[in-house]
């Protein structure tokens, strides 16, 4: 296990270097020019040129990329081309919001999703069709639709919660529910499939046969064996939420990393795009590491292997 972890840690810089290179290449290859977002509708060619020079975007690709690597080696993410603010400061400002939103969404989605999945696997067949429709809808409904309907019903009609804004508990509820809808549904569906598979395993019969109570069988034998694939799904969802949920953040005016990255891409604001990608990659790698650790905790076979 230790060597495994060590290997994983050693891989992190390689992954980061690979990702930054790829993303740098991608935005460099995109049509469009960062200086154009800066100069407005009326600029002299000389002004555009001098701004391109100042930003360094007129230099060859490799030189720009190496320059960026040098910058991040010094722990600096640079300044936004557009707002001239420090990218690191902006990210530090927004990360807690994204973290809070992702965590709240998962806090809703995981318990609801897992219990619903178990219920679907164990429960009476009579609810099956209904629950299938619910989870299918959850997976397929577009986020912006769910978000706007929630806003209309809860904020505008019932006036229970504020429609938008980045703030405390009252502000996070609607975006968290919106984000939790597809997550809970996919978790429920995966849980159900895996649980039904596990239920057919011989050891389940053994457990019942040796006289264990039904609940105990569910919680120790079934749950434990079901959770491994479920944790993978949770990890993937959580990882992507930590990279920002662009639509949810936009609808609810939530000041998170997703919107920040999106605006950076639209304006070809290279330092912003690179900064968010870097932090997002770190988050994803970190979550995957935690997921792997969870495997080891839940399944002794992983630890030995």
Partner 1 sequence: MFRPTVKSFLLFVLTGLLLAGGCMPARERLPGYLSLRLKADPTSLDPALITDVTSGSIAAKLFNGLVKMDESLRIVPDLASGWTISDDRCTYVFRLRGDVTFPDGRGMTSQDILYSFERVLDPAVRSPNTWVFDRVAKMEAENDLTFKITLTKPFSPFLGLLTMPAAYVVDRHAVEALGPDFGAAPVGTGPFQLVQWLHNRMLRLSARKDYFDGSPKLKGITYRVIPEDLTAIAEFEIGNLDVIGIPSPEYRRFMDSSKWRPLVVSLKGLNTYYLGMNCLKYPFNNSKVRLALAYAIDRKKILETFYEGRGVPAAGPVPPALRSWPAPELVPFDPKLAVQLMREAGLPEGSEFSLYVTSEQETLDLAEIIQDYLAGIGLKINIRQLEWSAYKAAINRGEADLFWLSWWADYPDAENFLFPTFHSSNLGAGGNRTRYINDKLDGLIEAGRSSASDKSWKEYKKAEYLIADEAPWVFFWHRTDYAVRQPWVKGFRLYPIYTVDKGLVVETIPMHHAIDSGFGFEPGGG
In the region spanning residues 63 to 122, those forming contacts with partner 1, defined by CB under 8 A, are 79, 82-85, 90, 93-94, 96-97, 99-104, 106-107
Cβ proximity to partner 1, 63 vs 89, nearer residue: 89
Of the pair 50, 201, the CB lying nearest partner 1 is at: 50
Among 6, 9, 18, 32, binds partner 1 (CB under 8 A): 32
> Cβ of residue 124: shortest distance to partner 1, in angstroms?
27
Give CA–CA dist 260/258, Å, rounded: 5
Q: Residue 252, interface with partner 1 (CB under 8 A)? A: yes
> Among residues 134, 199, 282, 298, which is the contact residue for partner 1, using CB under 8 A?
298
Closer of 164 and 193 to partner 1 (Cβ):
164
Nearest distance from residue 289's CB to partner 1, in Å?
Answer: 13
261 binds partner 1 (CB under 8 A): no
Binding of partner 1 at residue 151 (CB under 8 A)? yes
Burial of 259 (0-12, 13-18, 19+ CB in 10 A): buried
Residue 221 contacts partner 1 per CB under 8 A: no
Least distance in angstroms from the C-beta of 19 to partner 1? 22
Q: Which of 91, 222, 251, 261 binds partner 1 (CB under 8 A)?
A: 251
Minimum Å distance from CB 65 to partner 1?
20
Q: x/- string (CB under 8 A) for partner 1, residues 2-31?
A: ----------------------------xx
CA 148 to chain centre: 21
- Judge contact between 255 and 94, C-beta under 8 A: yes
């Amino acid at each position: 296990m230790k060597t495994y972890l060590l290997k994983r840690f050693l891989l992190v810089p390689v992954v980061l270097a690979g990702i930054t290179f790829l993303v740098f290449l991608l935005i460099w290859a995109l049509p469009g020019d960062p200086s154009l977002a800066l100069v407005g509708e009326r600029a002299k060619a000389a002004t555009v040129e001098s701004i391109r020079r100042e930003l360094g975007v007129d230099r060859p690709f490799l030189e720009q990329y190496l320059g960026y690597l040098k910058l991040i080696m010094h722990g600096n993410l640079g300044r936004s081309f557009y707002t001239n603010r420090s990218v690191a400061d902006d990210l530090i400002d927004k990360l807690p919001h994204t973290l809070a939103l992702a965590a709240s969404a998962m806090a809703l989605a995981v318990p609801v999703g897992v219990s619903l999945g178990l219920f679907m696997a164990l429960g009476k067949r009579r609810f099956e069709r209904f629950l299938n429709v619910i989870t299918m809808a959850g997976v397929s409904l577009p986020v912006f639709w769910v978000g706007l309907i929630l806003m209309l019903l809860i904020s505008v009609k019932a006036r229970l919660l504020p429609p938008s804004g980045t703030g405390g508990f009252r502000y996070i509820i609607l975006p968290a529910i919106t984000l939790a809808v597809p997550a809970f549904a996919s978790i429920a569906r995966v849980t159900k499939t895996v649980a039904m598979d596990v239920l057919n395993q011989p050891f389940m019969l053994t457990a019942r046969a040796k006289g264990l109570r039904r609940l105990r069988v569910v919680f120790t034998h079934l749950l434990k064996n079901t959770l491994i694939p479920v944790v993978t799904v949770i990890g993937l969802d959580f990882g992507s939420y930590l990279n920002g949920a662009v639509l949810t953040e936009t609808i609810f005016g939530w000041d998170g990393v997703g919107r920040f990255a999106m605006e950076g891409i639209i304006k070809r604001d290279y330092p912003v795009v690179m900064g968010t990608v870097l932090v997002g990659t770190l988050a994803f790698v970190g979550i995957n590491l935690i997921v792997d650790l969870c495997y080891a905790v839940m399944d002794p076979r992983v630890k030995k292997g």
